[in-house]
Structure formats: structure tokens, C-alpha cells
């Protein structure tokens, strides 16, 4: 049945859009030459020669540089995979392993290649049958501890000299080994669950999984059960489709990633999101419309960034026949932060849910056990991202808010106004927690302080805007449900 949205939801959506437009305008006003470090910004496009480009997002700038330096390997990957599909499809793991080893050596050097091999082989071997899962998890936490040690206390001081690489390459090595911790754990835990006679669990399969180039640096870090579908789809299911059709589909997906790259770069000429957040004095006194608009833009720029990162990997993965997850959900319409965890980084969520949460509790488990399972899940998120204060605060607030969100959902009907009225109070700190993650703990504390200590009228204003945000998310869910029902009816 088609559900007609309430008039209130439509009104809230209109107000929500108006609030965003005004807050964007206030941020555009702030994005000018009076900001500190303005003259150190990138010159930008000649099309906008009157505006510099905000290049203070190191993750985005690094990815652009990585693609410019190593983009040829994406093309070579496509050629190698097509040749393998035609002439030796059963040896795809061997081909991917050899190609991955050659690429790593070409991009870096032998010491970097040795580290990646040591990590993968240490996971694969020396797992006693009687303590198999414990051994895998022990190695997982040991490698996380090693990566965090060098990342937090030793990272840029000496390690790049030891490996003979520059700082950018050292950062890439840190990202690759961090992703590979998750991949190694997924591979080995699946191998233990399926038994020694299961197919596609040899060393070459592990290395093919870890060294698959389109997912090497920026992910997504899909679980092995998804990657293993490559062996089923590589020859049989993709063979009826012509190469031109598949190349056209790949080109369309990469064009969308390129389009969002242009949107991101154009937006950085007019909204200096990353530069503004460096000025803590400004954040403590700026107009609240601009402050919360800046927070929203942090989230949107982060979303677009990962649509590009993951979109490229997903495009190549689907071209090769891998069952890839969907791209991140747009955070501008997420009103339940449990949905943010489920649908933004779907691969990370699958790993956490499959290997941690469901191993510690089931649907029939009592509430205390479920709370402890969720705490263990967020504890893993904290140590895997890095043992920094801002990561700890972000993880802890998210854990508490998701528990409160579940309580609100349990006590209120899904379509009731009371869920929105109460849930908005939980939604606000959930959003604020992300400013610790997007920026730093100092920026996050400024948002918390100004939200809860600058008077009741300011909080009510934020609450009204957040309520409209919450109800707009509900409107989007209704429209999605209606479309799904309509599609079922037609079929």
C-alpha cells in the first residue's frame, strides 16, 4: 500500500531546505581572504581565478595525488583481468597475486612489499586448530597495536627513513596495512568456519584478496565472502555479456565518480570548510547559523569524498564480477544514527556485525549481553581507527546515542510524532559527535559547549532545525518505501 506522507513532513522538508540555504550563505560569507592561512591555499581553477581552493583536507588531496601518480595501474588492472578472463580464468587468484606484488614493488620498494607479505603470511600460518579463532583475533589486535604504535608515537619521525620512502608513501602504507588487518581477519575467520576442504582459501587467494588493486588504498574493505564471489562470476555469469557493454557500464560508474570529484573541487572554491575549522577563535564567536552550517558541510564534503573513494573501487569490483556493496548513503537524510553505521560504510558494518556483534550475542540474547556486544564493537572501532582522544570521544558518544536511540524506538511507534520529538534530542549529540571525527577534539568541544551552554533560546533554535531534519529523513523513508512497493506491484 502507498503511504501518503503527512503534511507536517512536507512542511518540515521545506523548512529544512530553507535552513540549509541560509546556513550555506553564512558560510560563503565567511569563506574569504580574511581567514588565517588564506594565502596558503591552492590557486584553484582559472575559471574561478578570483577564488582560491580550500586544499586543507589532507585525505582528499592525498587521494587525488595517488590517482594522478598511479592511475595507469587501474588501466593495466582492467587489461590484465580481461586477458585472464579469456585465457586462464581458473588462475585468477594467481594472476591477481602476481600483479599485486609487481604493483606494490613498482609503487614503493622491497621493504614495503616485505611488510605487506609479512602481515599476510603471519595471519595465514601458525593458527593452532584447537585455538584457531583466538589465534586469529590475537594477531588482529597485535597488528593493530603495531600500526597504532608507529602511527601515534613513531610515524613520521624515523619510519620513512628506515623504509626508504617519503611521507606520503608512509601514509599509504599505514592505510594499506590497516585495511589489510580487517581483510586478513575476515579471510582467516571464514577459512576456519568453512573447514580445510573449502575452496579458494589458499595463500594465493589471501594475497589476491589483499592486493586487489582497486580496493588497495581507499577501500572499501569488503569481507572475504563478497570477494570470493569473483570466482563464481568471473567466467560463468559474466561471459554472456559483451566486453563493450561491460566497459560502457564501467565508464558510466567512473564518470559519476569523476562528476562528484568536480563537485567537490568546485565546492572547495566557495566554501572553505576545512580552513574555517582551523580557526578556533572564530568558531567560538561565529554566528550559530554559520557554525551549524559548517558542521553540516563537514558531513556533506566527507560524504562526497567517500562516494568518490568507494565509487571507484565498487565500479572496478563489479566490472570484475565481485558482489560489491552499495555506495555510502547520503548523510543529509539520515535521521537514525544506527542507519548511518549500517549504510554509510557498509563493508565495515558487515565486518563488525558478522565477526564481532553476532559472535557475542543473538536476537534472543538479553539486554545486558547486547549492550556489552555493542560496547565491544565500538571498542574495536576505536582501536582500529587509532587510539586518539577524538576517536575515543566520537566512538563513546555514538555508542551511547545508539543505545538511547534504540530505547526511544522501543518506546514509541515508528510513525508517531513522539518518536521525532524525543528522538531529536538524541539525534543532536549523535551529529555533534561527528565533529570530533571530522575535525578534532578541540572543534568537537566547541560545538558541545556552544550547543548546551549558550542559553535555552539557542538550543530551541537548533532543536527546531534538527526536528525538521529528523522529519525530512522520515519523509525520505516513506518515499523509498512507496517506490519499493510500486516496483513490486509492477513486477
Q: Which residues, in sequence order, are CB contacts of 409 under 8 Å at separation 6+?
A: 336, 419, 423
Q: Which residues, in sequence order, are CB contacts of 78 under 8 Å at separation 6+?
A: 250, 316, 319
How is the chain split into domains, by residue range? 52-328
Give pLDDT, residue 239: 46
Distance in angstroms (rounded) separating the CA atoms of residues 228 and 356 = 21
What is the rounded average pLDDT of the residues 428-448?
Answer: 94
The dihedral through the CA atoms of 317, 321, 323, 327 has a sign that is positive
237 pLDDT more than 80: no
Q: Which DSSP string corresponds to 142-194?
A: HHHHHHHHIIIIIIIIIIHHHHT--HHHHHHHHHHHHHHHHHHHHHHHHHHHH
Phi, psi of 107 (to 5 degrees): -75, -35
What is the rounded average pLDDT of the residues 444-462?
Answer: 94
Distances (CA, A) of 170 to 109, 370, 429: 12, 39, 35
Distances (CA, A) of 15 to 10, 27, 29, 261, 294: 9, 18, 21, 29, 18
SS3 42: strand
Among 76, 101, 80, CA closest to 89: 80
What is the rounded average pLDDT of the residues 415-430?
Answer: 91
pLDDT band for position 151 (50/70/90)? Answer: confident
198 pLDDT more than 50: yes
Q: Which residues, in sequence order, are CB contacts of 439 under 8 Å at separation 6+?
A: 277, 298
Among 339, 342, 345, CA closest to 474: 339
pLDDT band for position 486 (50/70/90)? Answer: confident
Among 152, 77, 147, CA closest to 118: 147
Among 397, 362, 366, 392, CA closest to 379: 392
pLDDT in tens, 357-394: 999 998 888 889 999 999 999 999 999 998 899 999 99
pLDDT band for position 491 (50/70/90)? Answer: low
Element (H, E) at 313: helix 288-319
pLDDT band for position 311 (50/70/90)? Answer: very high
How many CA atoms lie less than 13 Å away from 290 in the CB half-sphere?
A: 18
Amino acid at each position: 500500500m502507498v503511504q501518503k506522507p503527512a503534511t507536517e513532513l512536507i512542511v518540515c522538508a521545506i523548512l529544512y531546505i530553507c535552513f540549509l540555504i541560509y546556513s550555506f550563505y553564512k558560510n560563503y560569507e565567511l569563506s574569504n581572504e580574511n581567514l588565517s592561512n588564506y594565502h596558503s591555499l591552492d590557486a584553484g581553477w582559472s575559471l574561478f581565478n578570483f577564488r582560491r581552493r580550500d586544499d586543507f583536507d589532507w585525505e582528499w588531496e592525498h587521494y587525488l595525488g595517488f590517482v594522478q601518480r598511479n592511475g595507469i595501474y587501474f588501466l593495466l588492472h582492467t587489461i590484465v583481468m580481461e586477458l585472464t578472463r579469456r585465457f586462464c580464468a581458473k588462475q585468477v587468484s594467481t594472476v591477481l597475486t602476481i600483479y599485486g606484488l609487481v604493483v606494490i614493488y613498482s609503487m614503493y620498494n622491497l621493504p614495503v612489499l616485505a611488510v605487506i607479505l609479512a602481515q599476510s603470511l603471519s595471519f595465514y600460518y601458525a593458527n593452532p586448530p584447537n585455538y584457531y579463532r583466538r589465534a586469529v583475533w590475537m594477531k588482529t589486535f597485535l597488528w593493530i597495536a603495531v600500526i597504532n604504535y608507529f602511527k601515534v608515537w613513531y610515524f613520521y619521525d624515523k619510519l620513512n627513513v628506515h623504509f626508504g620512502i617519503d611521507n606520503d608513501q608512509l601514509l599509504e602504507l599505514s592505510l594499506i596495512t590497516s585495511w589489510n588487518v580487517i581483510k586478513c581477519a575476515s579471510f582467516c575467520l571464514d577459512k576456519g568456519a568453512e573447514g580445510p576442504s573449502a575452496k579458494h582459501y589458499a595463500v594465493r587467494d589471501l594475497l589476491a584478496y589483499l592486493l586487489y588493486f582497486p580496493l588497495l588504498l581507499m577501500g572499501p574493505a569488503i569481507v572475504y565472502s563478497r570477494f570470493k564471489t569473483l570466482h563464481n562470476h568471473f567466467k560463468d555469469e559474466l561471459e554472456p555479456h559483451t566486453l563493450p557493454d561491460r566497459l560502457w557500464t564501467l565508464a558510466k560508474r567512473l564518470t559519476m565518480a569523476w562528476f562528484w570529484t568536480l563537485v567537490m573541487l568546485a565546492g572547495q572554491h566557495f566554501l572553505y570548510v576545512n580552513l574555517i575549522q582551523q580557526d578556533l577563535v572564530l568558531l567560538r564567536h561565529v554566528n550559530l547559523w554559520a557554525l551549524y552550517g559548517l558542521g553540516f558541510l563537514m558531513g556533506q564534503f566527507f560524504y562526497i569524498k567517500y562516494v568518490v573513494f568507494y565509487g571507484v573501487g565498487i565500479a572496478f569490483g563489479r566490472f570484475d564480477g565481485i558482489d560489491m556493496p552499495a555506495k555510502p548513503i547520503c548523510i543529509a537524510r539520515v535521521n537514525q544514527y544506527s542507519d548511518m553505521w549500517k549504510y554509510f560504510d557498509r563493508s565495515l558494518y558487515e565486518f563488525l556485525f558478522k565477526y564481532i556483534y553476532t559472535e557475542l550475542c543473538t536476537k534472543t540474547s538479553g539486554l545486558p549481553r547486547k549492550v556489552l556486544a555493542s560496547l565491544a564493537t565500538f571498542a574495536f572501532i576505536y582501536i582500529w581507527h587509532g587510539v586518539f582522544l577524538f576517536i575515543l570521544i566520537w566512538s563513546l558518544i555514538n555508542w551511547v546515542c545508539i543505545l538511547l536511540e534504540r530505547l526511544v524506538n522501543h518506546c514509541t511507534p515508528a510513525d508517531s510524532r513522539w518518536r521525532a520529538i524525543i528522538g531529536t534530542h538524541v539525534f543532536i549529540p549523535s551529529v555533534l559527535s561527528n565533529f570530533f571525527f571530522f575535525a578534532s577534539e578541540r572543534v568537537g568541544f566547541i560545538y558541545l559547549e556552544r550547543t548546551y551552554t549558550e542559553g535555552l533560546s539557542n538550543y530551541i533554535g537548533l532543536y527546531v532545525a534538527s526536528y525538521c531534519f529528523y522529519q525530512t529523513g522520515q519523509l525520505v523513508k516513506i518515499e523509498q518505501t512507496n517506490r519499493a512497493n510500486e516496483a513490486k506491484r509492477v513486477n
